[in-house]
Chain A
Amino acid sequence: MKNSLFDAFVELREDDTLNIIKDMLKSGEDSNYIAEICKQALIKIGDLFARKEYFLSELVMSGEIFKEVMALLEQNMQIGDLPSKKIGKVLIGTIEGDIHDLGKNIVKNALEGNGFEVYDIGVDVSPDVFVEKVKEIEPDILGMSCLISIGWDALKDTIDALKEAGIRDKVKIILGGGGVDNEVANFAGADAAVKDAIKGVEQCKKWVSG
């Protein structure tokens, strides 16, 4: 069953994945064990994405299946059964003046699937709110999403506001979205800029493990 669940998930066979899990639960299989297989499948999907065998559409679909899997497992377990150990805390939001949330949502799912605790503060977030939330949540990493070129100044303003508040060095700052690259990261004063969700997860993992 373990292999067939893993394969069904990696091949994004949604109904098969859910049916196999239902059968496993019926036969008394441990929810944590099932969740672990699904997490391994997510990691495999991330590898396939990095090798350009899978694409963003497959990441989104795997995120959807994972959500359904977790909902199914939660119905069948006592509160507190699911592993709760998180590997790091990430605060994530789209910068002021930009209302796009697709990339941010995909990154959020990918981070959660990889064991991060993610606080999503939405879109069009002002520098003041970023500062306030960094103080309140004390994340390891701040992720800012920016799709439009007009947002470059807002990225810089936000990081300047963090500096002014004396908390810039308490977080690693990662930028994501179609509007950013290393040049923008240098301009704004961020630590990194990434082009896709999986590279973002890799960078965040590197930071929390280092």
Chain B
Amino acid sequence: MGEWIITDPEELYKERVERIETAVELKTPDRVPVICTEMDFSWKYVNISQLEYMTNNDKMMMVLEMFYKDFQTDAAYSEPAVFDPLFTVISEPCIIKVPGRDLPDDSVFQLVESEIMKKEDYKHAIRRGYILTLINLLPKLRPEIPDVQSKFNEMLQNQVGSELIESNRAKLREWGIPIWHVGGMESPFSVLCLMRSYEKLVLDIYRNRELVKETVKKFTQDIIRMSIGGCKSSGINRAQIGLHRESSSSFSLKIFEEIALPMIKEIVDAHIKEDIITILHCDGDWTPNLPYLTELPKGTCVIDLDDSTDIYQARDILSDRMCFSGNVMERLLTFGTPQKVEDHCKELIDVLGENGGYIMKGEAPAQAKPENIKAMIKTAKTYGVYKA
């Protein structure tokens, strides 16, 4: 693990970019690339509070530098940015409980899914789209911010905070660290679910399906625009779309087929036109949904799975269509041992990454054991080496 000291950071950066891009293109890189959700773990590792990490850019970057030096992952999970309650509302359109304000300093953010958007707001949503619906609901979503609507408009117009993000990005490059994806957007269906609440959305789908379909369709246009905008301003051509409520863990296949699948296809197609790879961040059990994803063009997506989905079926159905990532989960990294982590990671490499097309990703929570994360990274860098 001496890459940090002995290699020129720019060389290292290029090597890592190539490794990742090769895997995404379903080709065989030198070894399995490995990444980790460092933003959830690193602050605890360095022993500062979550509150300090999320509000102080200098401290956040200090923590990240230490993390990358010690762990040597192949990329930053996403663009480092301090918490901005206004900016966050775009991807998390719900009430948010924040460490230091509503929760203890060392806690994690919690999203409160509630009926912020009322049934009667559907017509407005269909007419005006996602951002204007969001602006309309802002006083309910961020009641603690005075004059919230004009501040939000100002943020959108002047791209507040973008200079800081740009300088963080430059710093990562100095350290030889590429960025895995541009800060994730949630899918139109998932944001609607956050705004209506899961239970209300279920009832809406059964009682007024057309309204839901029309709203998702309209929201999709705004979300595509923002996703592409984020890629263009950052120069990163991988955009993550959070698919939190689309799987069989939340909705039936019929609902998926009618509402979610057309939305996913539209986003992927729009990204393809801009040479952007879509990372489908798939929460929950996607096993029954997998066959639908064969309809997406080959080599244009990465599917990021958790341990609810059957990896053997995922391989059989999708390995010739898209790159896999994910599946080293929080519980294993916390309660497991280095040996258990190694065994699991070897299985992942054997199943999902036999000839490339797999990016190992650890979901590391604050209390993960550092030795377990190191075991994951070591396995990718040793067992994950492909023979020339």
Q: Does A64 count as interface, using CB distance less than 8 angstroms? A: yes
Contact A187/B365 with A57-B255, A99-B112, A149-B330 known, Cβ cut-off 8 Å: no
Verify A102–B199 contact, CB threshold 8 A: yes
Considering the complex, which residues of chain B in the window 83-135 have a beta carbon less than 8 Å from any beta carbon of chain A? 97, 103-104, 107-108, 110, 112-113
Determine the main DSSP class of A at the interface with B: helix
A residues in contact with B273, CB < 8 Å: none
Quick one: CB contact mask for B276-314 with A, threshold 8 Å, 1 for yes? 000000000000100000000000000000000000000
Verify B250–A57 contact, CB threshold 8 A: yes
Closest chain-B Cβ to A173's Cβ sits at a distance in Å of 18
Contact A60/B199 with A54-B252, A98-B110, A149-B365 known, Cβ cut-off 8 Å: yes
Q: Please, could you name 9 A-B residue pairs with CB atoms under 8 Å apart, sorted by A?
A: A14-B206, A57-B252, A57-B255, A60-B198, A61-B203, A97-B103, A100-B110, A150-B367, A153-B367
Choose from B97, B108, B202, B288 the contact partner of A60 (Cβ within 8 Å): B202
Choose from B107, B203, B288, B334 the contact partner of A64 (Cβ within 8 Å): B203
Q: When chains A and B are docked, how far (Å) is the Cα of A52 from the Cα of B286?
A: 12
Choose from B110, B205, B253, B365 the contact partner of A99 (Cβ within 8 Å): B110
B residues in contact with A152, CB < 8 Å: 334, 367
Q: When chains A and B are docked, how far (Å) is the Cα of A179 from the Cα of B108?
A: 14
User: Of residues A56, A98, A100, A184, which shows the largest number of chain B Cβ atoms within 10 Å of its Cβ?
Assistant: A56
Q: Does B335 count as interface, using CB distance less than 8 angstroms? A: yes
Q: Does A43 count as interface, using CB distance less than 8 angstroms? A: no
Verify B199–A105 contact, CB threshold 8 A: yes
- Measured as residues with beta carbon below 8 angstroms from the partner, the interface class of chain B is 20 to 34
Q: When chains A and B are docked, how far (Å) is the Cα of A179 from the Cα of B335?
A: 13
Closest chain-A Cβ to B173's Cβ sits at a distance in Å of 31
Q: Does A12 count as interface, using CB distance less than 8 angstroms? A: yes
Choose from A57, A60, A97, A181 the contact partner of B107 (Cβ within 8 Å): A97
A residues in contact with B250, CB < 8 Å: 55-57
A residues in contact with B110, CB < 8 Å: 98-100, 148
Q: Does A58 count as interface, using CB distance less than 8 angstroms? A: yes
Contact A97/B104 with A14-B207, A57-B205, A102-B113 known, Cβ cut-off 8 Å: yes
Closest chain-B Cβ to A154's Cβ sits at a distance in Å of 11
Q: Does A169 count as interface, using CB distance less than 8 angstroms? A: no
Q: When chains A and B are docked, how far (Å) is the Cα of A7 from the Cα of B202?
A: 20
Verify A184–B103 contact, CB threshold 8 A: no
Q: Does B153 count as interface, using CB distance less than 8 angstroms? A: no
